[in-house]
Amino acid sequence: MHAPRSNPIIEPELLMLAYRSGIFPMSDARDDPEIFWIEPRLRAILPLDGLRVSSSLARTLKRGRFEVTCNRAFSQVMDECAAPRQARDGDDGDSWISHRIQASYENLHFLGHAHSIEVWREGELVGGLYGVGFDRVFCGESMFSRVSDSSKVALCWLVAALRRGGITLLDCQFMTSHLASLGAVEMPQKTYLALLQAAQSGYCSTAGSSTGSGSAAVGEALGDAVGAGVLSLPEAFEALLGDASSCGLASSPGKLIAQLLTQTS
């Protein structure tokens, strides 16, 4: 079920301007037609060289328990992220992702600005995340998990792809204990805005950049992509798959992800 036609989507130009200015929309409930704009006093980011990958998570990546894709099921990921949560501590469990917000981000996805990472097990979607990408920035919006480690696997692939694509800033919006355990850090909004501005300065996009080959691909796949332009998340994801193939890991690309992330964790 998506936003009724009586509730027009947020114009994509306005949404992207908000993100470029460090602001994002939320709603009070799934069926709420109203939105409000958020500029947190404190902002959370995940340093792309600071993701904490536990030994057990690295083993999960290497074993290939899951299939991971990019942009295969964006709307389904949003449906899962917007599903009611278990109520706790005064939270009624309703979602801030209203139907109007979902329709607006589905439109952004259609326009190439919003992306998803999906995690599958035996053909069933069991985890994933989505967010908005521009310049050298990716703003993570929400994630979900139906089985143990599935959302963490999605995050690992996201971080690996962002680094492969030359992205420098992964915005997590609000700090949670879960994000802190994975290496996220909190900072004043003013500091975040400086990082945001820097990530938008001197940006250039290089679509269709070639991937590395052989052992060089392992060493370079998570490099800073200096001089190589910036890839969108889908392009960077495909580049990672190409790197895995070049390393002889086409059937188990999670092994490459684990190797690359544990080198920098």
Mean pLDDT of 204-228: 39
- The 10s digit of each residue's pLDDT in 211-220 is 333 333 333 4
d(CA 38, CA 232): 25
Q: Is the Cβ–Cβ distance between 132 and 113 less than 8 Å?
A: yes
The predicted model scores a pTM of 0.86
CATH label, 12-263, candidates 3.40.640.10, 3.40.50.150, 3.20.20.70, 3.40.630.70? 3.40.630.70
Provide the residue ranges of all domains of the chain, joining segments of one domain with +: 12-263
More confident residue, 99 or 214: 99
Question: pLDDT higher for 43 or 89?
Answer: 43
Question: In the Cβ-directed half-sphere of 79, how many Cα atoms lie within 13 Å?
Answer: 9
141-174 pLDDT tens trace: 999 999 999 999 999 999 999 999 999 999 999 9
Q: Once rounded to an integer, what is the mean pLDDT over residues 121-146?
A: 97
The single-letter DSSP state of residue 206 is -
